[in-house]
Amino acid sequence: MAQNKIVVRYQDGRLVKGFTDDFFPNKEVFHITQLPPAQAKPIEVRVAELKAVFFVKDHQGKPQYNDLKDFNAPAATAGRKLKVVFKDGETILGTTQGYQPNRPGFFLVPSDPQSNNDRCFVVSAATKSVAFV
């Protein structure tokens, strides 16, 4: 099974970088092998404790880069445009093909094609507001 490069953000602010091969949006638990790769067993992650799971291009990220906060970036977008505001104040803009308020979470593709995030799984309980734009 393919390994996904991810960054996990917990609602309490913790951050874990690593790889997973068993994340599914309808499962309550998955596992992550932390960076740097070690001989240790993967750790168990409970989705209910998370803010979001970010599927990233690179674990280093772009610390000096601020993602664009609009839809003016020239990118082929599929799905509906959303503005997500998390309880911690962070805002993400992107598109989704599967947002439903009564679900535990949904995938979002960032509006900025230069973002380090390919997509993210937003945990609904960690959001302050979600609005179509």
Bridge partners, 4 (sequence order): 20
Q: What pLDDT was estimated at residue 73?
A: 54
**Chain segment 23-76, per-residue pLDDT in tens:** 999 999 999 998 776 667 899 999 999 999 999 999 988 778 877 777 765 555
4-56 and 80-132, same CATH topology: yes
Q: Does domain 80-132 have CATH number 2.30.30.100?
A: yes
Label residue 12 exposed, middle or buried (CB < 10 Å: 0-12, 13-18, 19+): exposed
**Chain segment 107-130, per-residue pLDDT in tens:** 999 988 889 999 999 999 999 999
Topology annotation, domain 4-56: SH3 type barrels. (2.30.30)
Rounded distance between C-alpha atoms, residue 51 and residue 60, angstroms:
20
What residue segments make up the domains of the chain, in order of their start?
4-56, 80-132
Identify whether the C-beta of residue 124 lies closer than 8 Å to the C-beta of residue 104.
Answer: yes
